[in-house]
Amino acid sequence: MENRTPFGVMADGTPVEELTLRDGGMTCRIITYGGALRSLEVPDRNGDPVDVLLGMDTLEDYQTQDKFLGALVGRYANRIGGSRFILNGREYPLRANDGVNHLHGGPVGFDKQVWTVEEQTDNQAVLSLISPDGQEGYPGTLTVRVTYRMEDNALSIRYVAECDQDTLCNLTNHAYFNLSGHNSGPVSDQFIQIHAGHYTPTHPGSIPTGEIAPVEGTPMDLRQPQPIGAHVDDPFAQLEMAKGYDHNWVLDGADGTLRPAAKAWSKTSGIVMETLTTKPGIQFYSGNYLDGCPAGKDGAPYDYRWGFCLETQYFPDSPNHSNFPSAVLEKGAKYAHETVYRFTVED
């Protein structure tokens, strides 16, 4: 079975490939455009494969959609308010692509570039990217390597980066999950649990206020398992501004080691997904703006809340909030983080 096949050609002639990884009953497909996860088949409670990732069938559809489907995003995941930050006393303006704000690395972030395949085995692929000094406004030439590995019923994503100047670095993957199957409809009845007693409230535009607020007594309290739809439309200002969940949760006890961050599952398929990360935060997004997406794989009509994201990260806008964990990557230092999505089934 081929594990590396053509997936299209960019306007400048650069070929895009699809890589296939397999381990046990799991199969994962990745395209080199954006380093994007295109599909992830895992066994349901009956042992039948279910594709739990939203994705597209053609390169053109990936280039048309603006939802960051499955992509590796950087140089800075999430938002930077006012498209600016100060580092070592100097202000760096960034390219705005979300109103006046900078989102997921800018108009030509890592999600819109073709990654290089450094190596591939049956269950692992290593992709690399070089982001030159000044790209989208960031200082320094950043070299990135991302390793996708399937093992023991889990998909791990390991990020390593270095830069020749002090810079910002905050990498994540923007996979949209639907644990009942990518083509099964809204995720409102799927369960979510996040191991976080605090979150970062935002202003309109989803830029953090700087407060680290307790979830206690609010619809943001997801410490106990509940359906995604249970409180997503409650009359709560934070939810109303974002049309649902689209916030950063401050993970309990985060210390840089790999630890449980969230858990989600579908009673329909029995598929359970645990998310572990070394990062201090996680953005839970309930797919509030998926409407308007091109048709997905096999013509699936992806729509409002047909998928959810669990994006592990430094906090949004952290360079502009001194009380947030720092996303500064110093010259010569190594950025090294890991996120694991581990799958099991319930009876």
**CB 111 within 8 Å of CB 172:** no
Conformation bin of residue 317: beta by default, left when phi > 0, alpha when psi is -120 to 50 = left
What pairs with residue 9 in β-bridges? Answer: 15
Cβ-based neighbours of 119, under 8 Å, separated by 6 or more = 125, 126
311 catalytic residue (yes or no): yes
Task: Report how far residue 137's alpha carbon sits from residue 83's, in angstroms, rounded to the nearest whole number.
Answer: 9
- Among 195, 144, 199, 197, which residue's Cα sits nearest to residue 167? 144
Of the chain, the end-to-end C-alpha distance in Å amounts to 32
Which of 18, 104, 162, 174 does the annotation list as catalytic?
174
**CB 144 within 8 Å of CB 157:** no
Tokens of 135: 């790209």
What distances in angstroms separate CA 4 from CA 40, 119, 121, 274, one per listed residue? 16, 11, 10, 28
- DSSP characters for 210-257? S--EE-TTSTT--SS-EETTTTTTSS-HHHHHHTS-EEEEE-TT--SS
Which of 136, 311, 337, 338 does the annotation list as catalytic?
311
104 catalytic residue (yes or no): no
Q: Which residue has the tokens 């947030």?
A: 324
Residue 255, judged by CB atoms within 10 A of its CB (0-12, 13-18, 19+), counts as exposed
Give φ, ψ of 299 to 5 degrees: 80, 10
Chain Cα centroid distance, residue 186: 19
Residues assigned a catalytic role: 174, 311
